[in-house]
Amino acid sequence: MKYAEIQWRDSQPFSPDYEDIYYSSTGGREESEYVFLQHNHLVSRWQAMVAGEHFVIAETGFGTGLNFVLTMKAWAEQARPEAVLHYITIEKHPVSPEDIKRVAANWPELAETYEELLAVYPLPVEGEHCRALLGGRVQLHLVFADVIDALESRELQVDAWYLDGFGPDKNADLWSDQVFRLIEKNSGQGATLSTYTAAGFVRRGLQAAGFEVSKVKGHGKKREMITAVLNHKRPMQSTAPWYELEKINYQHKQAVIIGAGLAGLTTAWSLVQRGWQVSLVEKHKNIAEEASGNPAGLLMPRLSIDNKTDAQFYTTALLYAAYCLDRLQHNDTEQFWFHEGVYSIFKAGKAEKLINRHGYAKQFIDILQQHDLKNYIEDKDATVSFFPEAGWASPKGICESLLRACGASLRLINQNVTDIRQIDNQWQALDERGQGIASAEVLIIANGVGANQFDTVSWLPVSSVRGQITEIAASKSSVALNKALSFDAYVTPEYKGKHYAGATYRVNDDNAQLTQEEQDETVSHLEQCLPGVFATPTRLKGRVGFRPVSDDMTPIVGIMPDKEAFTEDYKELHHGRPNTQYPSAKYLSGLYINAAHGSRGICSSFLSAEILAAMIVNEPLPVSKNIADYLSPARFLMRKLKRGELLS
């Protein structure tokens, strides 16, 4: 993805590609307010909201963010202070922050709101970027994607739509019948819609999609515009009923989480920010004693060339994690996060392939044609690249900061959970004597390599992979490496006289002691990549940890399926009956999992936690439904059922 090209005409942005303006050159602000805010009757609807409700606006064409900024300002002034607005906006050609700044200069009265937006505005990377504004009262979901891809892969319940593409004659793909059908699919009952155009085919397309359409007076000198309402939402037939998520309304905002590592603590933080109380049960005396106890690790994404869903999850997860870490670090006095970027060395051709395949912007990954590192690295054909939004962190420090950020909303209980059970809608975590440790309607399994230790979830394919990191004393030559480096291993830059390098990868190995063999392996990797730069450690020093991994090497995030019901309801699946003939999935109400973050937990855990929290409180997800399904624990059952391997 790259930023939209903008031409400036009297301080007004113009798109040479679409040959159209972003907003009306006369009274842009007034027109936006008139068309979108007034004609969706937002203020009166917001004021009629009852406690606990949220409001969802979706927009086709974020552009310069004018509609968003006006809506956020109106929300700040007119909505109940505890209510949350989800603003989902789709944009295929993101406008650069510099251009948005230039637009903002037209409206000094909006400067503060624009500034808040610009402070969290993401890089032009395909996928959804969620950012909290106005102290969490506004959740912006910026979906950088084509409108059809974005709406096809979502299951939203939108309350009000802003249709704000370029003129229908210039931007046909934003105004097609397919888009109108997808708008209906993603609408809640009673959804309203408005747009500045009165084009006949737009009116007819919306009517065909089920909307009741009216023509009303347009803004200023414009004769007409369109408003519409969806009074009769048609029932949808899911093509993957096994991933259909029933809306569950929990009575109390209380959860039990098992495991105080990155997965458990990020989940706790996501829930606490939504006003929940969390009981966090940890078997060790301190938090982050297992995989998340390392002194250092890299925030880097996994970048698959062929698996687009995987690459999109990890790239948006990286940007989301960096954004969360910045916020945490900003409010903390202990330093645990180094947002300095990461150099990455790829074998010849690989970085270029990744960039071509996914269209990564150079703000996300930049190939450095000339760089000092080139003088040091052994493989002269390799590509040196730079990920500016990546960095390195102390996972233990992150966990401690998360604990502080949760404050009094989190109660830490140091006990070993040996089983879980549900009685009268309450999930209980039990000790070895069968006594309850903590209970709530919602229980989240986030206990790393122990994720499948409880009977109810023993079928989950989770195992552990041993890893060792090595501490290396900084030397005269090694301090020249001013940022973390990732190659087929990684090394952090000098901090307090040390580097950390890692990590080895050993399956079926439960040895918790450091080994010389693995330390030598790490040192030799470093030596091969950067000969003569690092001193060889004179003694064994480092840390051993066990990565929680699933058998498809992907995190497991979501509500737990009812295995017996799945096995019965979908037993015919391998015979090939149409998917729509199967009943909706049955999940275990209140039981969730956030686990198997493998070698990338710093990257994946923050976004996973948000996915889970959004599911629990019935908010729009912060990712596409494709990604949510990709992470779902039900995937393992579905694979077996499709192969006819799981028989009741």
Which spans of this chain sit near ligand SAM (rule: CB under 6 A)?
A: 4, 22-23, 61-67, 90-93, 146-147, 164-166, 171, 173-174
- Is there binding between residue 460 and ligand FAD (CB under 6 A)? no
Longest distance between any two alpha carbons in the chain, whole Å? 81
> In whole angstroms, what is the distance from residue 185 CA to residue 151 CA?
8
Residue 511: count other Cβ atoms within 10 Å of its Cβ: 11
Short-list 385, 381, 392, 354, CA closest to 369: 385
Nearer residue to ligand FAD within complex by CB, 170 or 404: 404
Residue of 245, 258, 325, 526 that binds ligand FAD (CB under 6 A):
258
64 binds, among ligand FAD, ligand SAM, none (CB under 5 to 8 A by kind): ligand SAM
Residue 40 structure tokens: 């969706």
Closest CB 496 distance from ligand FAD, rounded Å:
18
Contact 205, 180 (CB under 8 A): yes
Nearer residue to ligand SAM within complex by CB, 164 or 441: 164
- Is there binding between residue 416 and ligand FAD (CB under 6 A)? yes
599 binds, among ligand SAM, ligand FAD, none (CB under 5 to 8 A by kind): ligand FAD
Residue of 297, 558, 561, 622 that binds ligand FAD (CB under 6 A):
297
Contact 646, 640 (CB under 8 A): yes
Q: Which stretch binds ligand FAD (CB under 6 A): 116-124, 137-145, 260-268, 626-634?
A: 260-268
Closest CB 597 distance from ligand SAM, rounded Å:
32
Contact 494, 474 (CB under 8 A): yes
Q: Residue 61 burial by CB count (10 A; 0-12/13-18/19+): exposed, middle or buried?
A: buried
Q: Which stretch binds ligand FAD (CB under 6 A): 40-48, 290-298, 309-317, 578-586?
A: 290-298
- Is there binding between residue 262 and ligand FAD (CB under 6 A)? yes
Amino acid letter, residue 530: L
Closest CB 119 distance from ligand FAD, rounded Å:
25
165 binds, among ligand SAM, ligand FAD, none (CB under 5 to 8 A by kind): ligand SAM
- Is there binding between residue 204 and ligand FAD (CB under 6 A)? no
Which stretches does DSSP call E strand in 523-608?
542-550, 556-561, 587-595
Short-list 444, 454, 462, CA closest to 263: 444
Short-list 557, 563, 566, 567, CA closest to 630: 557
Long-range contacts of 72-76 (CB under 8 A, 24+ apart): 72/113, 72/116, 72/117, 72/133, 72/134, 72/138, 73/110, 73/113, 74/33, 74/37, 74/42, 74/43, 75/46, 75/134, 75/137, 75/138, 76/113, 76/134, 76/137, 76/138
Site string for ligand FAD, 498-537 (x = CB under 6 A): ----xx----------------------------------
Residue of 257, 260, 373, 614 that binds ligand FAD (CB under 6 A):
260
> In whole angstroms, what is the distance from residue 300 CA to residue 391 CA?
7
Q: Which stretch binds ligand FAD (CB under 6 A): 152-160, 167-175, 461-469, 471-479?
A: 461-469
Q: Which residues bind ligand FAD (CB under 6 A)?
A: 258-264, 281-284, 289-292, 294, 297-298, 395, 416-417, 446-448, 450, 467-469, 490, 502-503, 545-548, 595, 597-603
